[in-house]
Structure 1
Amino acid sequence: MRFISKLAGVTRPRSDVFTYLFESRRSYPADRVLYREDKSKATLTLAELEHKSRQFATVLVERFNIQVMDPVAVLASDSIYYPIVYLGILAAGATVQLIPLQKELAVQDVVARMKAAGSKILITNAAMQDMANEASQLLSGIPVYDPSKDETAFSDGTLEFCGFSISDHSSAESTVGFLNRTSGSTGGKMKTVITTHSHFIATLDATVRTVPQNTDPDQDVWLSTLSLGFFINAKLNIGLNILLGIPVVLMNEPFHAANFDIIGRHRISFLFIPPPVAISIAGMSAAEARKVDVSSVKWLLSAGAAMHEGVSKAVSKNLNDAHLDLEWGTSETLLIAMQMDGHSSPPGSAGRLVNGIEAMVVDTYTGEPVGPGIDGEILVRNSAARFAGYKGDQAANQSTFDGDGWFHSGDYGSIDDNNNVFIKDRMKELIRVGSGYGVHISAVELESAIFEHPAVAEVIVTGVPNPRIGLDLPTAFVILSLEWQSRRAEALLSLQQWAQKHLVGLQTLTGGFVIVDKFPLIGFKINRRALKALVTATKTMEQTTLEQARALEQNTQMLDAERSSLTTAV
């Protein structure tokens, strides 16, 4: 059966993204400050944003001969120039190709992204100039341009570019607005995702309807918590905020516990909290959190991975008890479901299907559609805009998108009668265990159980293949809580004893525990493939730690025996 969103549908877009943002926005003054840099205090108003974006479009078209749908790459730290560049590319009719800043980013990553997209020019700033120049050399001298250093770009002599617009659905559906990169974190190779103007507008139309009722655009202030190069962050903070007229504070570094005070300094009301940021905030003590006035916080949103209830509650506790809502989406589909009122969402729900979304759940063995509450792979499509697929990857398009427009998400779960979506796991993260043909168990269920142990600050469970026996071994990668970090051997022993009691039968943790200091990331998602690679590298270390744990247990038993002997003697 088909599950069709019960929320009001969205109309088929007939515009380009630039026009949509500035003409469909809520009515608010043109001198409203929409961006403020935290350290420099530089600001950008709505009127300045529209004017300078069109000026930047003129520079792209006249100086660099950028044509409609030419990919323009952006490798820059966050500043008031970032939204100007982003929107200027769209105003020129070109295609936005964002490269998110991460501390692990190497020039080879930049080159690979630009080659896959076919980028014509690289926009950068002082912080990323050296890497941009190196990438240019490796790409046969592709132009590199920093608009912040060009005094003529935004002078009175540079006219606004008004030579591109879309006014019909067919053009909106066929014109590429964005090229985004999948994370590649679920086992497949990284792919370049095409997002049309129609798809992006339909997604924003749905997103704006999910904003909490207590949002006050005339008083609220949002915080960009990570690089605007992450597409989901740009959607929120160079899209949704413009429609609503809400100022965004831009940082020079990602948000985490060490710069927590920015919330109080700017009276922040909304934060996007991906899982790695959530772990940092959840790890703060109540005393640390109380040093900052967080009374302004009203809305928290996460995406990227399922979050343990304990982490979610700890984040909320440290941020004015605001509920941490969850958005479910993919690079290919953007928004699919959201908790629009997290306090009343059913336990374990990733939210309800948003406006315009249709879904099916199919049996993973037969491929046949199933009904409400029955698990299977979740397929989705958007009634307002067709998903455009991957650039230059016909094989991936054929295996992921079918002829009826359904996107095979690779997510395993169910949908209830009220269109609440329950994600149990990624299809590729279901772990096949047991003899014979085997059965699937959910890594998320194991993680939720292990998280109850007091030594666990965060845990990821994944199946590590054992070629000798042909099965996956459920293996838990654990970051220890602060009070246990100096007692690793004791913690390992305690976890093993706990698992023997609580994880039995098919849920037995046959791969054991691996204690790590941090999780490897791709973007803001945890890289499970890299974790699997750690098992071989840490095998000797883990065995040594296990021997230490056993020695500790033996010493404890000896001390108990000695104490018992002394007591008897007395």
Structure 2
Amino acid sequence: MGFTSPFPDVHIPEVSVFDLLFSGIDQTDLDRVALIDAADGVRTTYRDLIDRVDATAGALAARGIGVGAVVGLLAPNSSLFATAFHGILRAGATATTINALFTAHDIAKQLTDAKATMLITVTALLPQAQQAAEAVGITPERLIVLDGDGESASGHPNADDLLAHKAPAPQVDFDPATHLAVLPYSSGTTGNPKGVMLTHRNLVANVAQIRPLLAMGSDDKILAVLPFFHIYGMTVLLNAALQARATLVVMPRFDLGAFLETIQEHRITYGFIAPPVAVALAKHPLVDEYETSSLRVLMSGAAPLDAELGSAVAKRLSVRVLQGFGMSELSPVSHCMPADGGRQFFGEAAPLSSCGWPLPNTVNKIVDPTTGEEVAYPARGLSEPGELWVKGPNVMAGYLGNEEATTTTIDPDGFLHTGDLAQVDHAGRVFIVDRLKELIKYKGYQVPPAELEALLLTHPAVTDAAVIGVTDADGEEIPKAFVVRQPGTHLTADEVIEFVARQVAPYKKVRQVEFIDVIPKSASGKILRKDLRTPTV
């Protein structure tokens, strides 16, 4: 049966992403500032943004880009990215957004799999973009360098070339329920990334689902540091925040000093972050040098946020810290705390150890992965753990060219099997335990790495940490911690092991420790455990 969202269902318009965001925009909103590039202070109004999106779509259409075409977009956050992204969708094409940290090999691999016929990038990433384009047969005139010298000087069109074309935006006709808007690739933290097919309806639905909960408005200044190429930044910033007529203050990458300075200078009211940012905000002395009182809300997602860490950030910045849960396959948000923590709906705020409640229009199940039986909903306290399943209009259309993976992930009843171990409490709040694939099996017990990582982060001499299962000399899987020390400290492996042992059940103890300079993470903040894993120790 499952359990439904406690929030009222929302209406999901049968429209494209462009029409949802910009058609029928109120005249009073056209001269509001939509985007501010933090690096140079350049401002783009909603009027300018819509005009540039239309012009970009017209120029792409003149180059043969339309319904059925796939365009690669490789760039850090900027107003140019926003224009190119919405221009691709406005032309009726599909955008496959590419991690700005990818090598030429990685870029070419995604372009090939997505069958992209054009690539849009920036000068800073041109060497690897050019190498990838040549490898897959994309010609120079179809490699657009948004901030480049232009087609006449370099052979590569730039943003000005597209805008100067002055072709009208094309009239496109497609079914929002089936037409692919975007083709992001799953983060590949445990294996090869897969192309996630998200339709216009998927993205429109997710905006409609989160808007009443996040309560963003036209008076909000929202810090856009989450990468736009990742589905988290794409949905909450490029889509939901713009539909709310908020102002996005855009940062190309995370740097703590620039992050804090941007909050102070622009009086940021709302921020979306990933847990690594929360670690810096909780622990770094630089935070105390900046004025951050304008902040109302910090929403964390993309990876689990420990409750103690979230509380430390909330206390230090005097800000409401919230948590949500999602995955690319869910467009991406499936669970969320409302902007007030849940006080209006439920009379109390959700505990930070949870990811909040299921979104409107969704149904959840928690299923025992061993028996396949649904875990009973609790009358009080927490349910038994099980795999979280989600059904709703935000569930992806499937994995590109991978029917086997699609049918394994989405069952005949439409439930997406998340691969995450979760619990639900009597108030309908969901608690993520860990990825099922990441659970460490020690002597028959299951050890969630996320629990140990959260504990390690509470040690004053630990800057960051990750835990994986490794095989010891006896063939037993054991927990191993990778630890980044705070500068100037001399923490030892024995001290780490003892610190954890004092606070957990014996079977959960860390049994090996390795000190490293940095924990490898994806652009969205997920620990890349595959980069830490070795077959034997």
Give the TM-score of the pair, scaled to structure 2.
0.89
d(CA) in 2 for partners of 1:231, 1:429: 22
Alignment map for 1:152-551 (pairs within 5 Å): 152-155=161-164, 158-166=166-174, 171-185=175-189, 187-212=190-215, 215-218=216-219, 220-257=220-257, 259-285=259-285, 288-318=286-316, 320-333=317-330, 334-340=332-338, 341-342=340-341, 344-372=349-377, 373-382=383-392, 384=393, 386-434=395-443, 438-466=444-472, 469-484=474-489, 487-488=490-491, 491-510=492-511, 512-524=512-524, 525-533=526-534
d(CA) in 2 for partners of 1:499, 1:241: 41
d(CA) in 1 for partners of 2:246, 2:394: 27
Larger Rg: 1
Amino acid at match of 1:348: S
Amino acid at match of 2:162: A
Does the 8 A contact of 2:309 with 2:458 survive in 1?
A: no
SS at match of 1:332: helix
SS at match of 1:301: strand
Alignment map for 1:7-22 (pairs within 5 Å): 7-22=7-22
Amino acid at match of 2:74: L
d(CA) in 1 for partners of 2:78, 2:272: 18
Does the 8 A contact of 1:121 with 1:144 survive in 2?
A: yes
The alpha-carbon distance between structure 1 residues 154 and 447, as it changes in their structure 2 partners (threshold 3 A), is closer
SS at match of 2:120: strand
Amino acid at match of 2:287: A
1:131 equivalent in structure 2: 128
SS at match of 1:473: strand
d(CA) in 1 for partners of 2:462, 2:106: 33
> Structure 2: any 5+ residue segments left out of the alignment?
151-157, 342-347, 378-382
d(CA) in 2 for partners of 1:2, 1:251: 40
The alpha-carbon distance between structure 1 residues 258 and 93, as it changes in their structure 2 partners (threshold 3 A), is closer
String of CA shifts for 1:394-433, please: whole Å, max 9, x gaps: 2211211111111110110112333211111110111111
Give the TM-score of the pair, scaled to structure 1.
0.84
Deviation at 1:475, TM superposition (A): 1.2
Amino acid at match of 2:517: D
d(CA) in 2 for partners of 1:39, 1:451: 32
d(CA) in 2 for partners of 1:22, 1:165: 17
Does the 8 A contact of 2:221 with 2:266 survive in 1?
A: yes
Deviation at 1:242, TM superposition (A): 1.5
Amino acid at match of 2:419: G
String of CA shifts for 1:26-63, please: whole Å, max 9, x gaps: 7742111101112322221111111211111111111x
d(CA) in 1 for partners of 2:318, 2:441: 38
2:345 equivalent in structure 1: none
d(CA) in 2 for partners of 1:277, 1:61: 39
The alpha-carbon distance between structure 1 residues 130 and 454, as it changes in their structure 2 partners (threshold 3 A), is closer
String of CA shifts for 1:501-551, please: whole Å, max 9, x gaps: 4445322323x2222221012222111121223x96xx7xxxxxxxxxxxx
1:119 equivalent in structure 2: 116
2:49 equivalent in structure 1: 49
Does the 8 A contact of 1:3 with 1:359 survive in 2?
A: yes
Does the 8 A contact of 2:464 with 2:519 survive in 1?
A: no
Considering only aligned residues, what root-mean-square deviation do their CA atoms show, in Å?
A: 2.2
d(CA) in 2 for partners of 1:496, 1:386: 41
SS at match of 2:57: helix
Corresponding residue pairs, total: 511
- Provide the identity percentage: 26
2:143 equivalent in structure 1: 144
Does the 8 A contact of 1:451 with 1:457 survive in 2?
A: yes
Does the 8 A contact of 1:257 with 1:284 survive in 2?
A: no
d(CA) in 1 for partners of 2:262, 2:455: 34
Does the 8 A contact of 1:28 with 1:245 survive in 2?
A: no
1:3 equivalent in structure 2: 3
The alpha-carbon distance between structure 1 residues 504 and 8, as it changes in their structure 2 partners (threshold 3 A), is closer
SS at match of 1:210: helix
Does the 8 A contact of 1:224 with 1:250 survive in 2?
A: yes
String of CA shifts for 1:141-199, please: whole Å, max 9, x gaps: 342013554444323x6132141145xxxx221111000110111x2321110000111
The alpha-carbon distance between structure 1 residues 44 and 362, as it changes in their structure 2 partners (threshold 3 A), is same
Does the 8 A contact of 1:24 with 1:243 survive in 2?
A: no
SS at match of 1:153: helix
d(CA) in 1 for partners of 2:217, 2:70: 36
Does the 8 A contact of 1:69 with 1:177 survive in 2?
A: no
The alpha-carbon distance between structure 1 residues 81 and 161, as it changes in their structure 2 partners (threshold 3 A), is same
d(CA) in 1 for partners of 2:412, 2:181: 23
The alpha-carbon distance between structure 1 residues 471 and 399, as it changes in their structure 2 partners (threshold 3 A), is farther
